[in-house]
Amino acid sequence: MSVEASGGAVAVEAHSLRKVFGRRIALDSIDLRIGVGEVFGLIGPNGAGKTTTLRILATLITPTSGEARVFGIDVVREPLRVRRLLSYLPEEAGVYRNLTGMDFLRFVASLYAEGYDERRTLVDEGIALSGLGPRLHERMGSYSKGMRRRILVAASLMVRPRLAIMDEPTAGLDVAHAVHVRRVIKKYAKEYQTTILLSSHNMLEVEYLCERVAIIHRGRILAVGTPAELKAGLGAQNLEEVFMGMTGGAPLELEA
Evaluate whether residue 152 is within a structural domain: no
Q: What is the pLDDT of residue 7?
A: 52
Strands (E), 97-181: 163-167
Domain assignment of residue 46, yes or no: yes
Which CATH number do you get for residue 195? 3.40.50.300
Does residue 49 lie within any of the structural domains? yes
Q: Where in the sequence is the domain holding 242, given as residue range(s)?
A: 10-93+161-247
Residue 5: per-residue pLDDT: 47
pLDDT value of position 119: 94
The answer to whether residue 53 is domain-embedded is yes
The verdict on residue 254 lying in a domain is no
Please answer whether residues 12 and 195 qualify as being in contact, where contact means their C-beta atoms are separated by less than 8 angstroms. yes
Measure the CA–CA gap between 72 and 45, rounded to whole angstroms. 30
How many helices and strands, by DSSP H and E, does the chain display? 9, 10
What's the whole-model pTM score?
0.89
| Residue 188: predicted pLDDT | 87
Provide DSSP, 50-103: HHHHHHHHTTSS--SEEEEEETTEETTT-HHHHHTTEEEE-TT----TTSBHHH
Determine, yes or no, domain membership for 64: yes
Within a domain: residue 129?
A: no
Average pLDDT, consecutive stretches of 10 residues, N- to C-terminus, the chain (256 residues): 55 97 94 96 91 96 97 97 95 90 96 92 95 96 93 94 94 89 89 93 92 95 94 90 80 41
Task: Look at the chain and report how many structural domains it folds into.
Answer: 1
Question: Cα dihedral sign for 42, 47, 48, 50?
Answer: positive
Q: How many C-beta atoms lie closer than 10 Å to residue 63's C-beta?
A: 22
1 in any annotated domain = no
For residue 123, the model assigns a pLDDT of 97
**8 A C-beta contact, residue 212 and residue 6:** yes
